[in-house]
Amino acid sequence: MSCLMVERCGEILFENPDQNVKCVCMLGDVRLRGQTGVPAERRGSYPFIDFRLLNNTTHSGEIGTKKKVKRLLSFQRYFHASRLLRGIIPQAPLHLLDEDYLGQARHMLSKVGMWDFDIFLFDRLTNGNSLVTLLCHLFNAHGLIHHFKLDMVTLHRFLVMVQEDYHSQNPYHNAVHAADVTQAMHCYLKEPKLASSLTPLDIMLGLLAAAAHDVDHPGVNQPFLIKTNHHLANLYQNMSVLENHHWRSTIGMLRESRLLAHLPKEMTQDIEQQLGSLILATDINRQNEFLTRLKAHLHNKDLSLEDVHDRHFMLQIALKCADICNPCRIWEMSKQWSERVCEEFYRQGDLEQKFELEISPLCNQQKDSIPSIQIGFMTYIVEPLFREWARFTGHSALSESMLSHLAHNKAQWKRLLPNQRRSSSGGGGSGSPDHTGPGTEAEGQTVTEGDAP
């Protein structure tokens, strides 16, 4: 590979920035290895839920004894913590793309700031490495590698860790979703009202939080973990269980990769805390908290983006918007995401039915249609947040485009409603006040508070 220079910090500079994709592919799917040559594993990684454990249901409907479940889950956690025990031996393959695919991926990256960016196509063109490729490009484009003196190989290694800790078997909460949220976050960070005040640290925090906000997601919601006595529910005392796990997993990978080890200790501690604040903000249970605060700021006109706390708050809002922006995408992509999230809901419902657990709201495929779920989600969750985001941006071209897509997509779903429900939907679909859902970690909330896919 020509026309590059490797500096002491490991930064890679290209005369032609379009070579970014090729560099990422050439680095390959490298795994972190210990001194003994044994792959170093991330500690405390979320165990794939072995639903055979649920067969220990007693006649009373409870899931065995606490001691028995704890012992089974402890073994399960140990078993799944090691890729060697799972029989997965790293081969360190190089994902060298065909030149045609490489050219198309490079062309797509040149338009990564466009709202119609097709993350599904990009994932195919990068051989399933959309998250790693996208983040490497964005870190370089925003000048973060140079500013923070990051080692490019270490950065790539960390991003591979993150990408691999997403569960590809999840229809929705997988690495492609993370890449989609990251691309949306990039678009929001470019909004003129916000961009002029952001520091390099703000940008890095926003991109990292977007990339890792759902890492190690099991494909089921918090109530499911609670009613199956999962150890994480006990660990985090049933409060923001998944968000806390996403955050702690991210910190573990940052430390293991030593991506920020060269930075002052006080700075790395601050980065870890701010990442936690951003990721925890994606808890849909806190939707009203953030929305009320945003409305108050906009009403009082007291947001000062020169203030670090106000700026961090708007990063939280931006991440919340990015996390639930699917209904604001063009119809073709929005529809795919809607079908994926509902498939994940239905899988949870099927498991709950199989193991004689109460089926969670919105998880019953026989009763909850995709159109009704989406209409309720758009009406009670997405529209209120994005209306306020549009106010904040001064009704920018992007925010107006998103609201336009949202209105169009909602109309499309209304046309697809089952005939018997159209007359009574009133735009709310399944959004009755007592209808809770699994959403983006929606934890037993009413749809008015957040049944977010």
Provide the residue ranges of all domains of the chain, joining segments of one domain with +.
100-416
Mean pLDDT of 33-41: 33
The reply, when asked if residue 174 is annotated as ligand binding, is: yes
The reply, when asked if residue 238 is annotated as ligand binding, is: no
Distances (CA, A) of 268 to 136, 161, 199: 20, 19, 16
Q: pLDDT value at position 303? A: 97
The reply, when asked if residue 176 is annotated as ligand binding, is: yes
The reply, when asked if residue 213 is annotated as ligand binding, is: yes
Output the 3-class SS for the chain: CCCEEECCCCCEEECCHHHHHHHHHHHCCCCCECCCCCECCCCCCCCCCCHHHHHHECCCCCECCHHHHHHHHHHHHHHHHCCCCCCCCCCCCCCCCCHHHHHHHHHHHCCCCCCCCCHHHHHHHCCCCHHHHHHHHHHHHCCHHHHCCCCHHHHHHHHHHHHHCCCCCCCCCCHHHHHHHHHHHHHHHCCHHHHCCCCHHHHHHHHHHHHHCCCCCCCCCHHHHHHCCCHHHHHCCCCCHHHHHHHHHHHHHHHHHCCCCCCCHHHHHHHHHHHHHHHHCCCHHHHHHHHHHHHHHHHHCCCCCCCHHHHHHHHHHHHHHHHCCHHHCCHHHHHHHHHHHHHHHHHHHHHHHHCCCCCCCCCCCCCCCHHHHHHHHHHHHHHHHHHHHHHHCCCCHHHHHHHHHHHHHHHHHHHCCCHHHHHHHCCCCCCCCCCECCCCCCCCCEHHHHCCC
Say if residue 5's pLDDT is above 70: no
Q: pLDDT value at position 99? A: 65
Mean pLDDT of 267-283: 98
Give the lowest-confidence range in 41-55, 170-184, 290-304.
Answer: 41-55
Mean pLDDT of 251-271: 98
Q: pLDDT value at position 103? A: 84
Q: pLDDT value at position 101? A: 72
Say if residue 377's pLDDT is above 50: yes
CB 30 within 8 A of CB 156: yes
Say if residue 4's pLDDT is above 50: no
How would CATH label the architecture of 100-416? Orthogonal Bundle (1.10)
The reply, when asked if residue 214 is annotated as ligand binding, is: yes
The reply, when asked if residue 299 is annotated as ligand binding, is: no
The reply, when asked if residue 281 is annotated as ligand binding, is: no
Q: pLDDT value at position 7? A: 34
Residue of 137, 142, 156, 173 marked catalytic: 173
The reply, when asked if residue 175 is annotated as ligand binding, is: yes
Give the lowest-confidence range in 156-170, 222-236, 263-277, 418-432.
Answer: 418-432
The reply, when asked if residue 323 is annotated as ligand binding, is: yes
Q: pLDDT value at position 6? A: 32
Mean pLDDT of 175-201: 98
CA pair distance 107, 97, nearest whole angstrom: 14
Q: Is 59 a catalytic residue?
A: no
Give the lowest-confidence range in 9-23, 99-113, 322-336, 408-422.
Answer: 9-23
Pick 267 or 23 by higher pLDDT: 267
Percent of the chain with pLDDT over 70: 70
Say if residue 113's pLDDT is above 70: yes
Confirm whether pTM is higher than 0.85. Answer: no
Mean pLDDT of 181-188: 98
Say if residue 288's pLDDT is above 70: yes
